[in-house]
Amino acid sequence: MKKIVKFGGSSLANAQQFEKVGEIIRSDESRRYVVPSAPGKRFDGDTKVTDLLYKCYNIAVQGEDFGAVLQEIKERYYEIIRGLKLDLSLEDEFAQIEKDFKAQAGSDYAASRGEFLNGKVMAAYLGYEFVDAATVIRFDKNGNFDADKTDKLLSKRLAKCERAVIPGFYGAYEDGTVKTFSRGGSDVTGSLVAKAIKADLYENWTDVSGFLVTDPRIVENPAVIETITYRELRELSYMGATVLHEDAIFPVRKEGIPINIKNTNKPEDKGTFIVESTCKKPKYTITGIAGKKGFCSINIEKSMMNSEVGFGRKVLQVFEDQGISFEHIPSGIDTLTVYVHQDEFEEKEQQVIAGIHRAVQPDFVEMESDLALIAVVGRGMKSQRGTAGRIFSALAHANVNVKMIDQGSSELNIIIGVENRDFEAAVKAIYDIFVLTQI
């Protein structure tokens, strides 16, 4: 059995956390490939190493002395090395970084050194081979990730390694220039390694015991989701739920490799399994609740709209011409409502209204701002009658006025529109009726 294990920054913030990670890896022989992030915050108010690197490089670009910040970064790593009692020197690596910063090697290069150096420490600590991600993860000349080339390079290189550490977050162009993924990109690296070696499981270790049913900032101690499908995760991630980098899903999904979100500080917890499909019945009717504030609606009324061929296309063309994407389009016989991000729309609202009048000659156009959208997601909703009714009932009891409700034909999710001020109350009410009371 082969497992990929990826550890986030909080799991590798100091020597004590490294020791926990070491115990986790050594406790299971199948954990053979490790993807580390850069060291995260050691305590509240601390600075992540990646942020220190950005700061250091920005000082270098301005032609000022960046030695003090580089020394601070160096001390972070030597603090870990001393704590682990390792016989390891990073002087050559830091000398090269100093030289490259002076030569202005790029902010991507600067940011990537956090993972690069932590990979060196991790490889020395575990006695695993170090594989520089710049040699095996490839971007094309336009900065787009090259999946095919990466898979070939990774597969060939790791076939020679029984156990290896591959730092997350970055790769390189063909000429060796370092390029990073977006923040959280170490999740993507783990996924690519899992695909390349045809892993049995991708373990993603973080500081939470899995994917939560809803945002813990809104609901205190929400339940953990035991099993979630890729489709459910996609719906929840799109609406703001974050545990895993979105792009990390696709490489493993293609191969049918499950992901297990685990807690470094509570390794005995089962965590959340992310799978392609499952016959396991979910614990609750819903899998998760997620949402975002900051939407507005544009309601278009016109008599006999339903018999006018191309009406919807003409309306959406106006938004496309202004570079505005839509979120949802609930409609009636004589009405069509378009939900968009308010910050995108506000600058161009008058151009859009004028465009709608020219395109479809509506009877009336009305706008409403400061709205929130909430996604209630769950494969269990398909087999349960009255899910929408229970949502309406819960919201009514919480004195929340529903502005919009939209359900796709897949019956995987229901989208509810409410006012921004009712967002938290709505999430709590839905969570209460499906998870706490389960009536």
Q: Residues 40-67: pLDDT tens digits?
A: 999 999 999 999 999 999 999 999 999 9
Residue that wins the pLDDT comparison between 250 and 190? 190
Residue that wins the pLDDT comparison between 133 and 307? 133
pLDDT of residue 410: 67
pLDDT of residue 38: 97
pLDDT band (50, 70, 90) for residue 433: very high
pLDDT band (50, 70, 90) for residue 387: confident
pLDDT band (50, 70, 90) for residue 280: confident
- Taking residues 207-211, report their average pLDDT: 91
Evaluate whether 212 touches 258 at the Cβ level (below 8 Å): no
Residue that wins the pLDDT comparison between 280 and 170? 170
pLDDT of residue 439: 52
- Taking residues 2-19, report their average pLDDT: 97
pLDDT by residue (tens digit) across 128-174? 999 999 999 999 999 999 999 999 999 999 999 999 999 999 999 99
pLDDT of residue 76: 98
The pTM score is 0.88
pLDDT of residue 409: 65
pLDDT of residue 225: 94
pLDDT band (50, 70, 90) for residue 332: confident
Which range of 1-5, 279-283, 384-388 scores highest in mean pLDDT? It is: 1-5
Whether 243 shows a pLDDT value over 80: the answer reads no
Residue that wins the pLDDT comparison between 112 and 208? 112
- Taking residues 21-29, report their average pLDDT: 98
pLDDT of residue 234: 83
- Taking residues 399-428, report their average pLDDT: 91
pLDDT of residue 107: 97
Least confident of 13-22, 231-240, 422-431: 231-240
Whether 245 shows a pLDDT value over 80: the answer reads no
